[in-house]
A and B are shown apart, each in its own frame.
Chain A
Amino acid sequence: MGLENILFVVAFAAAVFLFSKNLKAIIRNINLGKDVDISDNKPERWKKMILVAIGQSKMVVKPVSGLMHIIVYAGFIIINIEVLEIIIDGIFGTHRIFAVPLGGFYDFLIGSFEILAFLVLLAITVFFVRRNFLTIKRFGMREMLGWPKTDANIILIVEVLLMGAFLSMNAADQILQARGAEHYVVAGSYPISQFIVPLFDGLSNGNLVIVERVTWWFHILGILAFLNYLPYSKHFHIMLAFPSVFYAKLKPRAEFDNMDSVKKEVEMMFDPDADPYAAPAEPEGPVERFGAKDVADLNWKQLMDSYSCTECGRCSEQCPASQTGKLLSPRKIMMDTRDRLEEVGKGMDKNGKDFSDGKSLLGDYISEEELWACTTCNACVDACPIELNPLSIIMDMRRSLVMEESKIPSELAGMITNIENNGAPWQFSQTDRANWINEG
């Protein structure tokens, strides 16, 4: 084992170690959420995941970005076969270890990787232009200013660099192969990088080896660095999109859950055998809050979704409130949830598990004005390519506002009073309910 291999093993191990540490922190954060059992209907869930997450069925609703996304997605998955070879080569000091066992199929593989890499470069260029030079409303909304925009551009630039390094490496490699250089096994086909060959053709073998090695190292170190960038980025969707779709709501979109905590109390009120003077039963475990004031009041699926959101903004583009200039943007609900969850997680790392910073998602991140602007129309949920549900978070926060803090717009308070008094949201007597029969 040479020095290069030792360095590689160290870099690889460090990257994997760091990533698993960050991953653990994210899993810990997600588990701060309330437990909810979503283990029903496994066959349907698999079907949905295969169709929507793996099959990208909702991405292509927008044909341009949908098609480009499929290219980048396919490129990402397929080119990873190449990464496996790079890792084995890196550890054992071999070169293109799959070439001999795979024979002619290896040529086909490398050729397809190159074509994919080229298509990915094209797609990313389109993405970059759309994001930075075209006026696409969903990329310019207020929650996208600053870091989210930088994050998006970092991802695109890194992908360009990685693909560029991959193609340059192949270009140098094929020249060395043609010159019969030692160690460089003749293998692969290079439909794209052959056009870069003239750029390096004048170099000596020694310099070519340097180009090949530097690009090889840049490619793999870049991938390892990117892996460790994911937990800090919206790009984490490449991992969590799959479980998010798997555990997505299968019931009709307009069906909201009936809160069990409320059900228990209401059932008791309706129970003729209940003793009205009985002392309330000791609550089991910590007292549960109604609705969600902070991230820990949401459930783990809602928290996981906040990490899955890649801020595409298709939700806010379809949201009737966002479209008519209201403060509400469903994408911001997802982003705020994640930002607050990260803040809570970091606080716990620093100050221990029971720390409190006196802040909360409701109030410090999301305002009442945003929550009351929602029409619960489900356009955001329908638009999301991975079935995230900002509406469920909005509803849980409304519940907290109303049932914990009694904060409700005065007109709605009137509506509630009317239902309580006369069984209708307006001030009409229940005895007049059937008057319409004789009003023709």
Chain B
Amino acid sequence: MSSTLNVNTMAELTAKGEKPEVLFWVGCAGSFDDRAKKITRAFVKILNSVGVNFAILGTEESCTGDPAKRAGNEFLFQMQAMTNIQVMNAYEVKKIVTTCPHCFNTLKNEYPGLGGDYEVLHHSQFLQKLMEEGKLKIEGGEFKGKKISFHDPCYLGRGNGEYEAPRALLQELDADLVELKRCKAKGLCCGAGGAQMFKEAEPGTKEVNIERMEDVVDANPNIVAVGCPFCMTMMTDGVKNKEKEDTLKVYDLAELIAEGKGL
């Protein structure tokens, strides 16, 4: 469905003398990865429909430095962090929302020590708040009654203790939430964290995403929901590997909500 998105950059708003209530940190995957761009668009559709006053950095955004840090290059991480912090502090950013748990963790936990203090929310937390404030009405739509499993992203769940926000959203879809046998604190990684996304895995007997996909196949949902663009890639590959494309779909939380509302 083609639709016009209403997106301002911080630069545009500042030129008009305006300030958004929240900065949407799109992230590299959300900006460039074809599959993740759909998540970005879905999230913006929700923001537009609710009327959230947000802005993006646009071409002024740069990698948070997370993959560099996890790959051991602390120099590059701190260079990226300080550059981003200079930009955000110049715009007097107070609140950030992001659809990537890796950006979320880095911005929320690792930027303060380098001079960047912001309130940072993962989009599941942001959407949960909108829902609780009565601004966002979640409708099941085509997902009503469907079996949905949630794959916890490590950097949101185990890494930052957020297990409930994604589930609260899925509950509202009126879907049948089927937990994977390893979930929440015991959730198995998709295999992409720690800069693994950008390299081949070391030799072994199996790929991590295949091991994880087997948990999903065991739970046998119609949809596996994710909250991370890297998990999205790994799960989608897993579905292909298991030749389940016809019966098992992978969606981000934002896509489920946007679709459910017919946005």
Contacts and interface: CB of A to CB of B under 8 A. Distances in A.
Interface in B1-18: 1-5, 7, 9
Interface stretch (A161-169, A223-231, A423-431): A423-431
Interface string A218-256: 000000000000000000000000000000000111111
A258 B114 CA distance: 8
Q: Which of A267, A326, A400, A401 has the most CB of B within 10 A?
A: A326
Contacts of B192: 375
Interface stretch (A17-25, A114-122, A177-185, A404-412): A404-412
A403 B73 contact: yes
Contacts of A408: 71-73
A263 B65 CA distance: 14
A332 interface: no
A72 interface: no
B71 A412 contact: yes
Contact of A254 (B114, B154, B204): B154
A432 B76 contact: no
A258 B113 contact: yes
Interface stretch (A39-47, A78-86, A316-324): A316-324
Interface in A412-426: 412, 414-416, 419-420, 423-426
A403 B72 contact: yes
A433 B61 contact: yes
Contacts of A326: 201-204
A262 interface: yes
Contacts of B210: 324
A36 interface: no
A360 interface: no
A162 to B, nearest CB: 36
A426 B32 contact: yes
A403 B75 contact: yes
Contacts of A378: 154, 158-159
Given A266-B79, A440-B5, A430 B62 contact: yes
A377 interface: yes
Nearest to B5: A437
Chain B CB within 10 A, most for which of A270, A377, A378, A424: A377
Contacts of B217: none
Interface stretch (A151-159, A278-286, A366-374): A366-374
A426 B28 contact: yes
Interface in A374-399: 374-379, 382, 395, 398-399
B220 interface: no
A378 B218 CA distance: 24
A1 interface: no
Interface stretch (B133-141, B165-173, B182-190, B237-245): B182-190
B70 interface: yes
B191 A251 contact: no
Nearest to A423: B62
A324 B204 contact: yes
A318 to B, nearest CB: 7
Q: Which of A253, A373, A414 has the most CB of B within 10 A?
A: A253
Contact of A439 (B37, B109, B155): B37
A430 B75 CA distance: 20
A142 to B, nearest CB: 13
B199 A376 contact: no
A436 B40 contact: yes
Interface of B: 1-5, 7, 9, 26, 28, 30-33, 37, 40-41, 44, 56, 58-59, 61-63, 65, 67-76, 78-80, 82, 86, 105, 109-110, 113-114, 154-155, 158-161, 185-186, 188-189, 191-208, 210-212
Q: Which 9 A-B pairs have the closest CB atoms?
A: A254-B159, A325-B205, A376-B194, A423-B62, A398-B72, A402-B72, A255-B109, A377-B189, A325-B204
Given A379-B188, A416-B71, A419-B65, 14 more contacts: A256-B69, A290-B74, A321-B202, A372-B202, A375-B154, A377-B193, A398-B70, A401-B72, A419-B68, A423-B61, A434-B9, A435-B31, A436-B30, A440-B2
26 contacts: A253-B158, A253-B159, A256-B70, A262-B75, A290-B74, A320-B189, A328-B202, A369-B203, A372-B199, A373-B204, A375-B196, A375-B208, A377-B193, A378-B158, A382-B185, A398-B71, A399-B74, A402-B72, A408-B71, A423-B80, A428-B31, A428-B32, A431-B59, A436-B26, A437-B44, A440-B1
Interface of A: 251-256, 258-259, 262-263, 265-267, 269-270, 290-291, 318, 320-321, 323-328, 369, 372-379, 382, 395, 398-403, 408-409, 411-412, 414-416, 419-420, 423-426, 428, 430-437, 439-440
